[in-house]
Amino acid sequence: MTKNTKTHLIPLKKVFLDSDGIHILIPSDIGVDSYFILDTGASKSVIDTAILEHVEHEKIEVESIESSHIQGMIDGEFVQIKQIQFGDFICHDFQAVSMSLSHVNSIYSRFVNKPIAGLLGGDFFDKYKVVIHYADMSLCIQNTE
């Protein structure tokens, strides 16, 4: 049986951080109107611990060897968020590492008027076959949930 696939095209926000270059943000609703940073260099998505108090979530155990090595390099816990919305795409059971992003939010507060709730990493991009369209600043997500 084949799964139904729906394509979502979500507008992105380009932010110029002084001489540090261009950063790309995606608007999100995680119980808080916020942004996620698109981080193509991150293997795992991250959620800010400060946001977790506003979000239905649970801690998850890491069982695989590969994930255990990742956990050893990361100072945080693995959590599962019940629901996050990016544009018209609703992501259920979003898994991420929770850690403080207070330093990130202090930098970005000069450039955007919403908090940075987290970072979208390679795990998210791979799962949803994400394509970033720089020409029109949009993100294409393939949803098979």
Rounded to a whole number of angstroms, the distance between the first and last alpha carbons of the chain is: 14
Task: Report phi then psi at 80, rounded to 5.
Answer: -120, 125
Residue 62 pLDDT level (bands cut at 50, 70, 90): low
pLDDT digits (tens, 9 = 90+) for 12-31: 999 998 776 889 999 999 99
Q: Greatest CA span in the chain, whole angstroms?
A: 51
Q: Which residue has the higher pLDDT, 34 or 66?
A: 34
pLDDT digits (tens, 9 = 90+) for 85-112: 999 999 999 999 999 999 999 999 999 9
SS3 53: coil
What is the rounded CA–CA span in Å between residue 52 and residue 57?
Answer: 7
What is the rounded CA–CA span in Å between residue 131 and residue 142?
Answer: 9
| Domains contained in the chain, CATH given | 6-143 (2.40.70.10)
Q: Which residues contact 28 (CB under 8 A, 6 or more apart)?
A: 34, 35, 36, 84, 85, 86, 117, 118
